[in-house]
Amino acid sequence: MNVESRREGTNLVLKADGRVDGTNASEFQDAMKGEIDENDRAVILDLEDLTYISSAGLRVVLLIAKDLQRQGAKMAACSLSEPVKEVFVISGFDKIIPIHDSQDAAIGAIG
């Protein structure tokens, strides 16, 4: 699992790849928290290259989304692979965190 970041104004795009499960969920959380700062108004989580996410990974996404909400920022996910999208839908996370087909769509919707 790897997390890369880039900024577009007050938007932060985090791109994760590989797998997120119980063995690396805390690393995933630390990687995301390390990139987010108090000036970010929106965080886009690009999961195009993420092949698997467990409940531990979903918990991290939820914790980060709650932290962002407290600082007045929004979170969205985009470009989910089919297996990851299925997990988001089955777990109801698509009702908590908006899902978009592309980074541009996500930035346009929440940025």
Q: pLDDT tens-digit profile of 79-100? A: 999 999 999 999 999 999 999 9
Element of type H or E holding 14: strand 11-20
Question: Order of strands across the sheet with 11-20?
Answer: 2-8, 11-20, 42-53, 74-78, 99-100
pLDDT digits (tens, 9 = 90+) for 41-67: 999 999 999 999 999 999 999 999 999
The pLDDT value given to residue 10: 86
CA–CA separation, 17 vs 4, rounded Å? Answer: 9
Residue 29 has pLDDT above 80, yes or no: yes
Whether the pTM exceeds 0.85: the reply is yes
Q: Residue 44's closest CA among 91, 94, 111, 92? A: 111
The pLDDT value given to residue 111: 63
- Here the tokens at position 55 are 């409940």
The pLDDT value given to residue 98: 96
